[in-house]
Amino acid sequence: MTPQFSSQTLSNIEILKTRYPVEQSKSALLPILHMAQAEFGGYLSRESMDYVASLLNLQPIEVYEVATFYTMFHLKPTGKYVLEVCRTGPCALSGAEHIVDYLKQKLGVDLNQTTPDGLFTIKEVECLASCGSGPVLQVGECYVENLTDQRVDSMLAALKSGELSDNEPTPAHSILFRTCGDKQS
Amino acid sequence: MSRKILLENGDISGIDQFDIYRQHGGYQSVEKAIKTMTPLEVVDEVKKSGLRGRGGAGFSTGMKWSFLDRKSDKPRYLVCNADESEPGTFKDRYLMEKIPHRLIEGMIVSSYALGASRAYIYIRGELMWLAKRLENAIGEAKAHGLLGDNILGSDYSLDLVVHPGGGAYICGEESALLESLEGKRGYPRLKPPFPAISGLYGCPTVINNVESIAAVPWIVTHGGEEYSKIGIEKSSGTKLISASGHINRPGVYEIELGLPVEEFIYSDAYCGGIRNGRTLKAVVAGGSSVPILPAELILRTAAGIPRLMTYESLSDGGFQTGTMLGSGGFIVMDDTTCIVRNTWNFARFYHHESCGQCSPCREGTGWMEKVLHRIEHGHGTPKDIDLLVDIAKKIEGKTICALGDAAAWPIASAIRHFRHEFEYHIAHPDKITDPDHVYQPMGTK
Ligand SMILES: Cc1cc2nc3c(=O)[nH]c(=O)nc-3n(C[C@H](O)[C@H](O)[C@H](O)COP(=O)(O)O)c2cc1C
Ligand code: FES
């Protein structure tokens, strides 16, 4: 099935294009890929990428080569919540390796795997610019910092119960970025 | 306490909102510049200030601005580098989070100085929530006539756009950033031509770090000469230092350049000393890319002079016994830290982040990671140490961008200063995970 952005997103894309010179609409590609990932099930399928290419009058390959270069784009379906734990030096100094182990044990899955209930995928990522408050993980738009076992427990519980969403409230006038929390609706 | 320029009024509640920021002197520099100064006069003040780029390279901001091709009939662009992904660095994020309007104000004044009618803030995609806050701040500034058409009734207009990245360290490198902003892979460009001549969309472009741009409002309001009086000689002004690792008080500190390193580490106004009563083993002073130094060399130069937080003092002794101020990502390691493991971790980072264009970097980073992995996991051979030194040498200086150097330096310096630790790993593979021996895995407390 060909994906289709909501009319709201389509009009946002028109506004987005005005932010770059007329003949440079390709610049809008990264922001639109973020929108596509959020709106089309949390990952970029080939169909989604082809659709984005058609919106920007690009060859599909121009979209694939970009989508495969950047780590934020998932090319395969993921769990509802992708827990991206920073593994880089400063976080490792504060115990990131242990947090990854703890998550694996707690959720019973390995890195890049999804729990059977489809809720959680664990990934390792590089430095998130949160080194002073590590260990840290990103879930959607939310950073969960200063991780301890207890914090991981309460985060998982809160995500399950819906108490914690993986996005911050969107400022009222910001039309550009759909939040990851929207992707399930 | 150090004087605050970038974080001035940072403790006032609501300073992230336009009204409060404005009440506390915010956007004065825009009024001053647009109403009373020519663009070139603004450039002059920045030159006089001695401000040096805070993104890592420390290049004079005023000089960079004066290289901008003003004769070309193409549009000129200012691009703010908010990609902040150098491990150990989180100051731009802190500044944007705390006082978003400081960056917006800086972007307006700087764009005016450069004659740009459109400017971009390229922010790493992971910080999407922060991108939204910046958009919010831009909306506020626009509503008050400080952005958009005919700013403050003048004939100067500026369109300021926030652009999210997609997750790639290399996009912090300025020419990769431009490629990325053009909707492509973040492949660094060959230079020359430099962005000042041919940058974004082939037009004259200035790229500056968030912190550099955020210093401009103060410089314009108070004058470049006032700014140049702060700090020491060629290291003028204040700098945000991101402090992480085994310290009591990790966080972002604005320091006057010239503060003694020892005071920075041990004073309760800053890092507050080493955590859990341990002792200092090593510091990476300017983000993961700069050479690591053992405790004795970070506190004092090889000549025994106390080291200061300045570009010059930190690099005293060259790479033999010195390091760099870099981005100000100050990573502190205590005596439980395994240097081999940390080096392997960094090597993995550079391998993961190499864009793959240049063979020495693409292949070399992977090779170094592999060798370090085997040393750390008890399978190293005595030849491996020199092999690492050799690979590092063959990457350094042989790539399009500086990621190659950034990958080589941490490894070369770790071996230079902690060779015995690598040798120990190779000689005693059985003891590496022994919790009683000093080289415990990182993070074991
Ligand atoms: C691999 C690599 C990564 C970089 N990452 C950043 C970054 O995240 N932020 C930044 O401001 N500069 C970064 N730089 C430096 C930029 O290329 C550029 O020098 C800087 O943005 C210029 O701004 P400044 O003069 O204000 O420091 C990086 C450089 C390299 C080689
Ligand atoms: S090292 Fe984890 S956020 Fe920087």
Nearest to A94, CA basis, from B249, B342, B285, B443: B443
In a shared domain, residues A64 and A94: no
In a shared domain, residues A47 and A107: no
Give domain status of residue A38, yes or no. yes
In a shared domain, residues A96 and A165: yes
Q: Rounded CA gap, B309 and B290, in Å?
A: 14
In a shared domain, residues A52 and A92: no
Q: Rounded CA gap, B411 and A160, in Å?
A: 42
**CATH number of the domain residue A117 falls in:** 3.40.30.10
Domain count of chain A?
Answer: 2
In tens digits, what is the pLDDT along chain B, a chain of 445 residues? Answer: 578 999 999 999 999 999 999 999 999 999 999 999 999 999 999 999 999 999 999 999 999 999 999 999 999 999 999 999 999 999 999 999 999 999 999 999 999 999 999 999 999 999 998 999 999 999 999 999 999 999 999 999 999 999 999 999 999 999 999 999 999 999 999 999 999 999 999 999 999 999 999 999 999 999 999 999 999 989 999 999 999 999 999 999 999 999 999 999 999 999 999 999 999 999 999 999 999 999 999 999 999 999 999 999 999 999 999 999 999 999 999 999 999 999 999 999 999 999 999 999 999 999 999 999 999 999 999 999 999 999 999 999 999 999 999 999 999 999 999 999 999 999 998 877 654 444 444 433 3
Question: Cα B421 to the chain's mean position, in Å?
Answer: 29
Give domain status of residue A16, yes or no. yes
Counting from 1 in the atom list of ligand 2, the atom nearest the Cα of A86 is 2
The pTM score is 0.95
Give domain status of residue A171, yes or no. yes
Q: What ranges in B123-209 are assigned the alpha helix state H?
A: 128-143, 174-181
Nearest to A16, CA basis, from B75, B72, B120: B120
Nearest to B364, CA basis, from B355, B377, B352, B351: B351
In a shared domain, residues A39 and A129: no
Give domain status of residue A108, yes or no. yes
Which of B87, B135, B159 lies nearest to residue A90, judging by beta carbons?
Answer: B87
CA dihedral B176, A130, B216, B327 (to 10 degrees): -60
Tokens of B327: 């981005």
Cβ atoms of B137 and A42 closer than 8 Å: no
H or E element, residue B352 = helix B339-353
Q: What is the ipTM of this complex?
A: 0.95
In a shared domain, residues A85 and A44: no
In a shared domain, residues A106 and A173: yes
In a shared domain, residues A145 and A98: yes
* Residue B285: Cβ within 10 Å count: 28
The 10s digit of each residue's pLDDT in A84-138 is 999 999 999 999 999 999 999 999 999 999 999 999 999 999 999 999 999 999 9
In a shared domain, residues A127 and A91: yes
Q: Which domain holds residue A60?
A: 7-69
Give domain status of residue A41, yes or no. yes
Q: How buried is residue A59: exposed, middle or buried, by Cβ count under 10 Å (0-12/13-18/19+)?
A: exposed
Distance B102 CA to ligand 1 centre (A): 20
Nearest to B395, CA basis, from B436, B354, B434: B354
In a shared domain, residues A86 and A170: yes
In a shared domain, residues A175 and A89: yes
Q: Which of A48, A69, A90 is the last residue of a domain?
A: A69
Give domain status of residue A76, yes or no. no
Residues in the ligand 1 pocket, defined by CB under 6 Å: B 53-57, 59, 61, 81, 83-86, 170, 172-174, 207-209, 212, 401-403, 406
**CATH number of the domain residue A41 falls in:** 1.10.10
Protein residue with least CA distance to atom 23, ligand 1: B208
Give domain status of residue A1, yes or no. no
SS (H, E, C) B374-420: HHHCCCCCCHHHHHHHHHHHHHCCCCCCCHHHHHHHHHHHHHHHHHH
**Surface of A (85-124) touching B: CB under 8 A:** 87-90, 92-98
In a shared domain, residues A14 and A41: yes
Nearest to B207, CA basis, from B166, B171, B169, B177: B177
Q: Which of A69, A102, A119 is the last residue of a domain?
A: A69
Q: Which of A69, A90, A112 is the last residue of a domain?
A: A69
**DSSP state string for B59-112:** -BHHHHHHTS--SSSS--EEEEEE---STT--HHHHHHHH-HHHHHHHHHHHHH
Give domain status of residue A2, yes or no. no
